[in-house]
Structure 1
Amino acid sequence: MLTPALPAVFADFESVFPRTGKALELACGSGAAAVWLAMRGLDVHGVDVSDVAIEQARLIARQSGVAMRCRFDSVDLDLGLPPGDAVDLLLCHRFRDRRLDGAVIGRLAPGGLLAICALREVGSAPGRFRVRPGELRTAFAALEVVAAGASDKQEWLLARASPATAT
């Protein structure tokens, strides 16, 4: 069985991730991160284009005893984000589609956390799903940066939506 875990790039920031609320994971693959989030206390919706990956994610959730906190669906993100309520956490690990940036920001609840990591163009050919240096900070400039970093292979960002203001 695949071990549920937060992607290693975010491991040093585990304390920043919420323990309650709703989460959406884009391109969740076999569900290791989504199941980890559910074990932490979140209600998680994971989406991926692969039916095989979605079945694996459902199995891991059942085996980990958190199936009631997880929903996994096959979704083609080329068609946009799936409909849904605002989330307290939106996780996107090693997937990048610039066309979704506005929808991603719009899906965050007040104070919600975006955790995004994408492969970089540095040392590689440019590509639709790769990021240029500094691209994530620029794309999500409307959010408050919690932490950010880059290596030769990937760039990542943790950022929060503005908290709700009293009216």
Structure 2
Amino acid sequence: MTDTSPEQYWEGFYQERGQVWSGRPNPLLVREVASLAPGTALDLGCGEGADAIWLAKQGWRVTAVDIAATALRRAAARATEAGVRDRIVWERHDLSQSFPAGLFDLVSAQFFHSPVAVADEREKILRRAADAVAPGGVLLIVGHAGWPSWHEHPPFAHHFPTAPEVVDSLDLPPDRWQVEVTDLVVHDLTGPEGQPGRHTDSVLRIRRTR
């Protein structure tokens, strides 16, 4: 854990490295969104922009948000290279303090974990994310369900909420929301020293019916 602010932590995270992520969209995002009709999308914690760029290539108009200015600069440059610059708006937000305006047909929160988040901050942000879903739209939350199997001693204490726990924390009116997908996906993941292992991710897709 660290005593730095979220902005300091994530800005340092990107500044200390070159390209951090693979540049490929999250496969679980692709799995859940590929069949949806393109509309407006909000990508929370967009990082270096791979998901936002993929969405834009599928015809979505995307608002992509991150706390780190360095990540957003990299993402915008890659969107230009990919030919979708005009389909994505990049916004810097500390989502605990500010949130993008408007309603969206898709709100995506992919691996929305942070070692510097204060208690209940994630739940509050995800409730705001739900408020940003337009009638008929989808809230998609994908997260880790635990540490990789090769972590004998986790680097810090962290509770990875299950999909039912996330649903409960959102406190959504049942007459306005329908849970469409709750899933656990296990996949192989090689450790930093080449050790074989597995990792489990949680998928939650909820539709606002009205």
**Which bracket does the TM-score occupy, shorter chain normalised?**
0.7 to 0.9
What's 1:95 paired with? 112
TM norm structure 2: 0.67
Map 1:59-138; keep pairs closer than 5 Å.
Answer: 59-82=77-100, 84-96=101-113, 97-121=122-146, 127=158, 130-132=160-162, 134-138=164-168
What's 1:148 paired with? 182
Query: Contact 1:4–1:36 at 8 Å: present in 2 too?
Result: no
Distance 1:91 1:80, change over 3 A: same
Query: Contact 1:45–1:71 at 8 Å: present in 2 too?
Result: yes
Distance 1:16 1:80, change over 3 A: farther
Distance 1:65 1:133, change over 3 A: closer
CA shift digits 1:127-156 (9 cap, x unpaired): 36x314621232346321221212453211
Secondary structure (helix, strand or coil) at the match of 1:44 reads: strand
Amino acid at match of 2:124: R
RMSD: 2.5
Amino acid at match of 1:127: H
What's 1:17 paired with? 36
Secondary structure (helix, strand or coil) at the match of 2:37 reads: coil
Amino acid at match of 1:114: L
Deviation at 1:4, TM superposition (A): 6.0
Q: 2:204 aligns with which of 157, 161, 164?
A: 157
TM norm structure 1: 0.82
Deviation at 1:3, TM superposition (A): 7.3
- Between the aligned partners of 2:85 and 2:22, the Cα distance in structure 1 is 15
- 1:52 corresponds to 2:70: yes
Deviation at 1:117, TM superposition (A): 0.9
- Between the aligned partners of 1:59 and 1:28, the Cα distance in structure 2 is 14
Distance 1:66 1:3, change over 3 A: farther
Secondary structure (helix, strand or coil) at the match of 2:51 reads: helix
Deviation at 1:11, TM superposition (A): 3.4
Query: Contact 1:80–1:100 at 8 Å: present in 2 too?
Result: no
- Between the aligned partners of 1:131 and 1:50, the Cα distance in structure 2 is 25
Identity among equivalent pairs (%) = 24
Amino acid at match of 1:91: S
What's 1:36 paired with? 54
Secondary structure (helix, strand or coil) at the match of 2:72 reads: helix
**For structure 1, which runs of at least 5 residues remain unmatched after alignment?**
none
**For structure 2, which runs of at least 5 residues remain unmatched after alignment?**
1-18, 114-121, 186-198
Distance 1:156 1:133, change over 3 A: closer
Moved beyond 4 Å, runs of 4+: 1-5, 121-126
